Amino acid sequence: AQTVTQSQPEMSVQEAETVTLSCTYDTSESDYYLFWYKQPPSRQMILVIRQEAYKQQNATENRFSVNFQKAAKSFSLKISDSQLGDAAMYFCAYIPSNTGKLIFGQGTTLQVKP
Amino acid sequence: DGGITQSPKYLFRKEGQNVTLSCEQNLNHDAMYWYRQDPGQGLRLIYYSQIVNDFQKGDIAEGYSVSREKKESFPLTVTSAQKNPTAFYLCASSIQGRGESAFFGQGTRLTVV
């Protein structure tokens, strides 16, 4: 069965510092996509970053970047220069391109301290 | 404006009653999803559909039913067979369900009393 695991239920970071959120996944597929979504207190899900498994280059979006290790099935999110507005729950997600089954991890709650 | 709309935002029902949650999108997306969110358990997939008149069970489909008669609509019925229906429900859609980013509705909080 395909699974996504986020082993850190809660993390905290000082404003302006860097934090890394972990995600591992289990799959036998070779063609798939990975995502990080942010859920602020409003509970509206917001896409942070997307990674295509066939691309070796790690995706980046401004202060957000990933470390994609395909062989290790690891997909961590690095947030640089953390801001108060980054405080939210972060979800890692996976979808194989052949089934369309989009599944999520348990989430990591990020606290940003001023 | 294009988007995905869930209604109502809050829903209260008595135990033993079926209830239907609405999800409508005007993004012309083929794929649609329903998730349940409970504290500490992340988003768990209930049902998903990649095309009209077809849908698949997710990881926690028991006690739920869906239909996909129109591309724009993917209603979720929480039946009396669902043992613990109180939760936050999220609907999402994506272009084809082949790896594109998913867009989410604002969710429905269902409370069964």
How does pLDDT run across B47-105, given as a tens digit for each residue? 999 999 999 999 999 999 999 999 999 999 999 999 999 999 999 999 988 889 999 99
Question: Could you tell me if A49 lies within 8 Å of chain B, comparing CB atoms?
Answer: no
pLDDT in tens, chain A (114 residues): 779 999 999 999 999 999 999 999 999 998 999 999 999 999 999 999 999 999 989 999 999 999 999 999 999 999 999 999 999 999 999 999 888 899 999 999 999 999
Contact of B27 with B4, CB cutoff 8 Å: yes
Q: For an interface test with A, give the residue of B101, B103, B106, B109 to mutate (most A CBs within 10 A).
A: B101
Q: Phi/psi of residue A77, each to 5°?
A: -110, 125
8 Å CB contact of B31 and A100: yes
Q: For an interface test with B, give the residue of A95, A106, A108 to mutate (most B CBs within 10 A).
A: A95
* Res B18 pLDDT > 70: yes
- Residues in chain B with CB shorter than 8 Å from the CB of A33 are 99
pLDDT at A101: 93
- CA within 13 Å, CB half, A18: 9
8 Å CB contact of B42 and A9: no
| Sign of the alpha-carbon dihedral angle for B77, B83, B85, B89 | negative
Give the full edge-to-edge strand order of the sheet including B64-66: B4-7, B19-25, B76-78, B64-66
- Residues in chain B with CB shorter than 8 Å from the CB of A47 are 101-102
CA of A114 vs chain B CAs: smallest distance (Å): 25
pLDDT at A104: 97
Contact of A69 with A2, CB cutoff 8 Å: no
pLDDT at B1: 66
Contact of B11 with B111, CB cutoff 8 Å: yes
CA A96 to mean position of chain CA atoms: 16
Q: What is the pLDDT of residues A17-49, one digit of tens each?
A: 999 999 999 999 989 999 999 999 999 999 999
Burial class (CB in 10 A: 0-12, 13-18, 19+), B57: middle
